[in-house]
Amino acid sequence: MTSAQPRDANASATGNEGAPMVHIPSGPFIMGNDHGVGSMRIDETPAHTVYLDTYDIDLYEVTNTLYFRFVEETGHRPSTFRKKKKFNGPNQPVVGVSWDDAAAYCAWAGKRLPTEAEWEKTARGTDGRQYPWGLLKESPRADGKAKLRRPPEIGSDEGGKSPFGVYDMVSGVREWVADWYLTEYYAKSPDRNPLGPKTGFKKVLRGSSWMAKSEISDRVALRRRDSPSNRKNYVGFRCAMTQSAQD
């Protein structure tokens, strides 16, 4: 695999592995959904204001190239689809990794998985939008999802960037985040830096994927979950990093 890694003017930091990151400033945003938009689910309610301290998050999803480096240096198990041509392109997001695999990679890179709240703020910004590109479901992408037959290369969806300039929040793969899943968590979650339930059986997945046929799946408030041991061809991840300095 090559070591190619797209760069972007929005990148403000990197981890130990050199992947570009974007700085997300501290402040409040609206998390969740109360408006019945796009087949709203009960676990998205109530919409509530959350304040997050500043953090950095990967500009792109973790690629096969970077994950391969991690495997070579640590002896960690490789991704399930490493030998499948459809899924092992150097600049495609890595898929076929469990939650534990993702967490181990982030630790190797000097980072961590983002919290569910950090993921959502990155994807929707602070204006309460329903999609990374705005309020309406019509995507500005050049190619519809129905045409995709494999995960696209990272950074190839210019129209789907988040308000912070972060790529592929809903157009690449679903992403593992740090939190355990609980349907009714929003009704009792803290309003500052929520970390999710202390225990659980399934981990939260955020974002849409190359397999989704409907743009309803692109809604940034949409929550999904899966067993942390599962390794699927439409699930990957990105990392985040805590910033100690205040804005």
pLDDT tens column, 97-136: 999 999 999 999 999 999 999 999 999 999 989 999 987 7
Residue 29's DSSP bridge partners are 50
**Which residues touch 134 (CB under 8 Å, ≥6 apart)?**
none
**CB < 8 Å & 24+ apart, contacts of 147-151:** 148/210, 148/211, 149/86, 150/86, 150/87, 150/92, 150/210, 151/87, 151/92, 151/93, 151/95, 151/209, 151/210, 151/234, 151/236
**Which residues touch 192 (CB under 8 Å, ≥6 apart)?**
50, 51, 52
**Highest CATH level, class, for 13-242:** alpha beta
53 burial type by CB count under 10 A (0-12 exposed, 13-18 middle, 19+ buried)? middle
pLDDT tens column, 151-162: 999 999 888 899
Q: Are 234 and 209 in contact (CB under 8 A)?
A: yes
Q: Are 59 and 14 in contact (CB under 8 A)?
A: no
How large a percentage of the chain has pLDDT more than 90? 74
Q: What is the pLDDT of residue 106?
A: 98
Q: Are 134 and 77 in contact (CB under 8 A)?
A: no
DSSP letters, 113-136, are: PPPHHHHHHHHHTTTT-SBTTBSS
88, 102, 122, 143 from 119: Cα distances, Å: 25, 15, 5, 24
The pTM for the full model equals 0.91
Q: How far apart are CA 239 and CA 15, in angstroms?
A: 9
With residue 29 as reference, give the H or E element that holds it: strand 27-31
How large a percentage of the chain has pLDDT more than 70? 85
pLDDT tens column, 11-34: 666 788 999 999 999 999 999 998
Sign of CA dihedral 116, 117, 121, 126: positive
